[in-house]
Structure 1
Amino acid sequence: MSISANRLALQFLMLFSAAGAASAGTITCVPGASNGPAAPFNWVRRISIDEHSRTVNLDVVRSRTKDTETMGKMRADLVGMEESQSGEPVYVFNSIPTVGTEVTHLFKLFKASEWRLVSAGVAFANKVPALRAVEQSVVFDCKRSDLG
């Protein structure tokens, strides 16, 4: 290849990389107002997904009494992000296990008519997974912001 062809290829590669980075963004979600008082308890209070780094941060309720809730943080890996028929992405992520944690949580955030979160807990005993719980889907209000 000639020097000018190399430069052209390099410029094209840089343009393509910049376009890919500009399309990445974040989405932040909180439980929706339509969940109402009759809705089941939801322990996930905030979701923040960074598409570029493929990380997810969750604010969760660690423990709850009649009068108080103890909040905590959970990190997760974005393991899948596919575009749905509606044009909105479907996010699939799982919690990053910490020392002493016996349950891994799997999540799917998708938009039907509204954003919904479905989660399941999987426990591992002797490296064998066992489904521990599947929670009802919960409505979330999500806002997207582009990075660039």
Structure 2
Amino acid sequence: MTIIKPGRLALQALLLTTAGACAAGTITCVPGPAAASAPSDWIRRIAIDEHSRTVNMDIVRSRTKDTETMGKMRAELLSMEETQSGEPVYVFNAIPSVGTEVTHLFRLFKAGEWRLIGAGVTFMGKVPALRAVEPGLVLDCKRSDLG
């Protein structure tokens, strides 16, 4: 029996639009050259392992005028789908740490170039509420099929 959490249901309703399945592999993405000044520049690297359904992200935890403090964020790969053109679409959510009020939801897809869109969702009781939607971020991604 599968139990669907409210956050997972909200994510799927918000971000899923395709159907299919991708072959197991890995994909690693870094922001493209034009992303240096983007509002979503807190994400520095995304690594998705399709087989284990895990996502690891290198992120900027805090920033001052002179320094940045880097950190790691783990996410769960909720869906890997394939578009009609054969390009994969990944949907994942950050695994919130204790005391975190916002869950980050992401969709990584290829539309000419790799793009990442994200949304912040807070939960009031068990009811999800959209807190923020980030503008799309262009990424340079490399895929490797594990077979």
Q: TM-score range by the shorter chain?
A: 0.7 to 0.9
Unaligned runs of 5+ in 2: 1-22
- Post-superposition CA distance 1:92-137 (Å, at most 9, x none): 0001111111110000000001000000000112222111110000
Name the counterpart of 2:123: 124
Sequence identity of aligned pairs in percent?
77
Name the counterpart of 2:56: 57
- Post-superposition CA distance 1:27-47 (Å, at most 9, x none): 00000113354x335211100
How far apart are the structure 2 equivalents of 1:88 and 1:52?
17
The residue correspondences of 1:62-141 to structure 2 (distance < 5 A) are: 62-141=61-140
How far apart are the structure 2 equivalents of 1:64 and 1:129?
29
The residue correspondences of 1:28-47 to structure 2 (distance < 5 A) are: 28-35=28-35, 37=37, 39-47=38-46
Matched pairs, number: 125
AA matched with 1:80: S
Q: Does 1:144 align with 2:140?
A: no
- When the two chains are superposed, the root-mean-square deviation of aligned CA atoms in Å is 1.4
AA matched with 2:35: N
Q: Compare the two structures and name the one with the higher helix fraction.
A: 1
Q: Match of 1:134, SS?
A: strand
Change in Cα spacing, 1:85 to 1:75, as seen in structure 2 (3 Å) is: same
Name the counterpart of 1:3: none
How far apart are the structure 2 equivalents of 1:119 and 1:107?
4
Unaligned runs of 5+ in 1: 1-22
Name the counterpart of 2:16: none
How far apart are the structure 2 equivalents of 1:36 and 1:63?
16
How far apart are the structure 1 equivalents of 2:96 and 2:69?
20
